[in-house]
Structure 1
Amino acid sequence: MDINKRAKVLIQAMPYIRKFSGETIVVKYGGNAMINDKLKSAVMSDIALMRLVGVNVVLVHGGGPEINAMLKAVGKESKFENGMRVTDEETIDIVQMVLAGKVNKNLVQLMEKHGGKAIGLCGLDGNMLMAEKLVTSADLGYVGEIKEVNPEPLQNVINNGYIPIVATVASGYDGNVYNVNADIAAAHIAAKIGAKKLILMTDIRGLLKDVNDEDSLISVVNVSEVPMLKREGIIKGGMIPKIDCCVEAVRSGVSRAHIIDGRIEHSILIEMFSDEGIGTMFY
């Protein structure tokens, strides 16, 4: 990029930096962006830069591939029901070990490498995420439904200049540890802390009119349109829970929720600081 183009990019970003400085953004991090080293570096750089210009970021992560790998290493089969991991007593121990341990601390280390100051947390810390056993037609074991969010640990970390990186295991009222969906956790956290934006990183461009045509992106959706889009079959399958998270966040006071393509380098910066934006925005 030549010097003039670089200058134009910076000038274009200025009003957005001014708009979001001092605000809090919640980013749910997962998918290809979490397993591709080049994309991982881009995400960490993006968030470190956002914090540098005054934007508070909470990074919420999953770790499905790493959990699968560890289960395989100990000779245990990964089982799913309706897209949710069946989590028995042995599996929840592995989920906690992998998410709150290896994955979380690796992300903290990577963030520090890219100039960000980070502290790793999980939903057990300060009873940040409180959950009850999720009741469905199939017994999923230690899979939880979030009932409460305690924002104090997050606010303390942010107020001291750090980026909280949150692993999504939760405390149960019954004393057990529960595996909770990272998209849902991010939406609950965004609502509770009064985030300006919720950003869900995925492996597709956003909401598509035709799932086989990535050029059929729907860029903007009013949450009131979601039931109609479901009836028309545009919102279906694995997109339903993600979009329900966006709807719930917006209805709970988050100004905007976004589903963006984590396969694109610096997709967070494009969404945050450019006129074009990226993915699908819900308002």
Structure 2
Amino acid sequence: MKTAADNTAQTVPERLRSSFVMKCGGSTLAALPDSFFDDLVHLQRDGRQPVIVHGGGPAISDTLTKLGIETEFVNGLRRTTEEVLDVVEMVLAGSINKQIVRRIMVRGGKAVGLSGADGSLIQAQPVANRAEVGWVGDVTAVNAELIGGIVDMGYMPVIAPVGIDAGGQRYNINADTAAGAVASHIGVSRMIVVTDVPGIMRNVDGVKQVLPLVTVQDIEDMIGTGEIYGGMIPKVRAAVACIHGEVREVVIVDGTEPQVLSRVLNGENIGTRIART
């Protein structure tokens, strides 16, 4: 069955086909070396325009704590009241987004920071369990023309996952959901998820080795057997969440690897590739 993302992806500007979408958590991006941003800038100058979607959960939690605002999670989603939403927007579209833009510009790149509410970039509706989680949204559409216009001007879009509906209501969007939707709507088949781990690992003869290729079902099986455990579970499930619409695979890589983005885009087997089938 076709989704809105599938239909939109067929009509997006052809110029976006040479772009790629990269998703990264705000805290991970902040910890990456300057060489990572040098690689981003090199790709931009080479015509392979990055489109970045970032998160920032830990920074949101820290700010809420400092402000004395209670926060809780329901099935992995932050319960988002209007008060919490104000902080989400302030942190994601404000401090984290602009920090990323500054780091790109310092290394000689050109970037524009946006939230999904700017130009109705990420259009959203309430999630099914709205009564439990508040103003958390599902993506209904992405303004691919706006992304294309920014790319045409030679700038790298840096997108904070705050959505909006036709009535002006803001929504807190899971960053992985937002990244997958952006990738699908602009018509790319592969996403790169930058983390602080080299990929999905398995013990082989007592030695941990990175698995070059796994399927979504392999991941669930490995979680069930305990081969994927602890903090790695949310990382791989977040990557799986990016696979929908046009996106057929996600590559998990360690952002500290030298020229990791260029190497992935040039076809090198690095990190773990998660395929839909």
Deviation of the 1:264 alpha carbon: 3.7
2:240 counterpart residue number: 244
Q: Does 1:275 align with 2:275?
A: no
Q: 2-side partners of 1:228 and 1:146: how far apart?
A: 27
Corresponding position of 2:30? 35
Q: 1:118 corresponds to which letter in structure 2?
A: A
Q: How big is the alpha-carbon RMSD for the aligned residues of Structure 1 and Structure 2? A: 2.7
**Could you report, residue by residue, the CA deviation over 1:98-128 in whole angstroms, capped at 9, with x for unpaired residues?**
1111211221122111110111111111111
Secondary structure (helix, strand or coil) at the match of 2:112 reads strand
C-alpha deviations, 1:181-223, integer Å up to 9, x for none? 111111111111112531111233323346xx882422113xx
User: For residues 200-250 of structure 1, what are the alpha-carbon distances to aligned partners after superposition, in whole Å with 9 as ceiling and x for unaligned?
Assistant: 11233323346xx882422113xxx423542452678425632433432xx
Q: CA deviation at 1:65?
A: 2.1
**TM-score normalized with structure 2 length:** 0.81
Q: 2:52 aligns with which of 50, 53, 59?
A: 59
Alpha-carbon shift at residue 165 of structure 1 (Å): 0.5
Question: In the alignment, is the contact (CA less than 8 A) between 1:43 and 1:266 conserved in 2?
Answer: yes
Aligned to 1:208: 201
Change (3 A) 1:68 1:214: farther
Partner in structure 1 of residue 182 of structure 2:
189
Q: CA deviation at 1:72?
A: 1.8
Name stretches of at least 5 consecutive residues in structure 1 with no aligned partner: 1-20
Q: How many positions carry a matched residue from both structures?
A: 253
Alpha-carbon deviation of 1:137? 8.7
Equivalent position of 2:74 in the other structure? 81
Aligned to 2:98: 105
2:220 equivalent to 1:230: yes
Pair 277,227 (structure 1): closer, same or farther in 2 beyond 3 Å: closer
Contact 1:246 1:282 in 2 (8 A): no
C-alpha displacement of 1:69: 2.1
Partner of 1:133: 126
- Report what 1:44 is aligned to: 37
Q: Structure 1 length as normaliser, TM-score?
A: 0.79
1:26-78 deviation digits (Å, cap 9, x = unpaired):
00021653232xx1523322211110111011011111122122212211233
* Identity score, percent: 32
Structure 2 unpaired stretches of 5+: 1-15
Shift in Å, 1:24: 0.9
